[in-house]
Amino acid sequence: MSEEKKPRSGFVAVVGRTNVGKSTLVNAAVGEKVAIVTPKPQTTRNVIRGIYNDERGQIIFMDTPGLHKPRTTMNERMVRQALDSVRSVDAVLWLLDATALWQNEEERLLAALREAGRPVVMAINQIDRLKNEGLVLPLIAELSKKAPGWEIYPMSALNKADLPGLLDLLFSLLPEGEPLFPLDVYTDQMERQLVAEIVREQLFARTREEVPHCAGVVVESFSEPKEEGGKVVIHCSILVERDSQKPIIIGRQGQNLKAIGVAARKEIQRLLGCAAELRLFVKVSPNWRDNPQILREMGMG
Ligand SMILES: Nc1nc2c(ncn2[C@@H]2O[C@H](COP(=O)(O)OP(=O)(O)OP(=O)(O)O)[C@@H](O)[C@H]2O)c(=O)[nH]1
Ligand SMILES: [Mg+2]
C-alpha cells in the first residue's frame, strides 16, 4: 500500500539584482498578475506575496525589490526589505541574469545568504537571451564554484516549460505542513495597493529616464459603487519630486496622463470585475523618497 504523501508548504523569498526577472517569474508561477513588470530596473518597491497551490502543497513566493545601489531613503528601504526577507523564509530562490551573471550585488547577496543559512536555489534566468545553448554550462560551472552545494537551475521566466522543474526543486526544500493561506487567495495585497501598482506600471511605460523612478502613486480615495452595476470611483495622486517632471507626466494637452489613465482603468476594471472611474492628479512633493511618512503610507515604513 502506498503511503499518502503529506503536503508541503512554506515561504520562498525570490531575490536577486534589479531587473533579472523576479516579478515575471512569480507571476508565471502563480498564474496571475501579482506584481508589475517593466523593462526598467527598480520596478518592485515592496515585498509582494504571490501564492501557488497544487496537490503537493503551497508555495508562498515573496517577490522582493531588486538589489541595486541605493541613492534615496526609499531605495535603501527597498534593498533592506530584500535582504531581510531571506532570514524568515523556508527557502530562497535567487535569480541571476544569464547575460550578466555576477556583479557587486551578487557578491553582497552571496554573503547575506550564507549568513541566513536557508536552502537556496540559484536560477540562471533569461537563458533565451544567450546566443547559443553551449553558453549555459560555463555559467553553471561558474556558479557551482561560487556557492558549492546549492541547487542551480537554468531557465527562462518566459518559457512555461521551465516552470515545473523549478517548482519540483522548491517543493523539495519546503517543510511538511498544511497550506498557510486559503486556496482561493493568490496575493496578500489589498485592492488599493494593486490599483496603485497598476497606475505605477503605466507611469513606467509612458515616461522616460529618471521620471518613473522619481514618481510614486498614492490612492487617496476608493469608493464602492452606490448601486448594483455602479462604478467604483478612485482618486490617485501621482507624486513627483520636481516641477519640471509634472509636464512630462501630463504631456501636451494632458495627452500622456490621459493615456496612463485609460490603460490603467482598463486593467483596474478587469481586476475588480466592475466599471471604474479613475481620476489622476499629479502633485509635486520635493524629496518624497526621503520622507519617512510618505514612505510609510506607501507601505515602505
Ligand atoms: N528575454 C527574457 N526577458 C525576461 C525574462 N524574465 C524577465 N524578462 C524581462 O525582463 C524585464 C524585467 O523583468 P521584471 O520581472 O520586472 O524584473 P525584476 O527582477 O522583478 O525587476 P525589479 O523589480 O526592478 O527588481 C521585463 O522586461 C521582463 O519582460 C526572461 O527569462 N527572458
Ligand atoms: Mg520586480
Task: Specify the residue with its C-alpha closest to ligand 1, atom 8.
Answer: 21
3 state DSSP class of 122: strand
Q: Kindly state if the Cβ of 98 falls inside 6 Å of ligand 1.
A: no
Tally of CB atoms within 10 A around 223? 12
Looking at residue 112, what is its pLDDT?
A: 97
Looking at residue 249, what is its pLDDT?
A: 97
Looking at residue 185, what is its pLDDT?
A: 96
Looking at residue 2, what is its pLDDT?
A: 54
Looking at residue 203, what is its pLDDT?
A: 97
Task: Specify the residue with its C-alpha closest to ligand 1, atom 9.
Answer: 21
What is the secondary structure of 25-69 as a DSSP string? HHHHHHTS--S---SSSS---S-EEEEEEETTEEEEEEE-PPB--
Q: Kindly state if the Cβ of 21 falls inside 6 Å of ligand 1.
A: yes
For domain 191-297, is the CATH number 3.50.50.60? no
Looking at residue 229, what is its pLDDT?
A: 84
Q: Kindly state if the Cβ of 159 falls inside 6 Å of ligand 1.
A: no
pTM of the model: 0.96
Domain boundaries, the chain: 8-173, 191-297
Q: Kindly state if the Cβ of 75 falls inside 6 Å of ligand 1.
A: no
Q: Kindly state if the Cβ of 64 falls inside 6 Å of ligand 1.
A: no
The single residue listed with the C-alpha cell 531557465 is 155
For the domain spanning 8-173, the CATH number is 3.40.50.300
Looking at residue 3, what is its pLDDT?
A: 65
Looking at residue 4, what is its pLDDT?
A: 74
Residues of the chain with pLDDT below 70 are: 1-3
**Residue whose C-alpha is closest to residue 172's, from 196, 153, 188:** 153
Cα 178 to middle of ligand 1, angstroms:
31
Q: Which atom of ligand 1 is nearest to the CA of 42?
A: 24
Looking at residue 241, what is its pLDDT?
A: 96
Task: Specify the residue with its C-alpha closest to ligand 1, atom 32.
Answer: 126
**The pairing of beta strand 216-223 with beta strand 232-240:** antiparallel
Cα 202 to middle of ligand 2, angstroms:
15
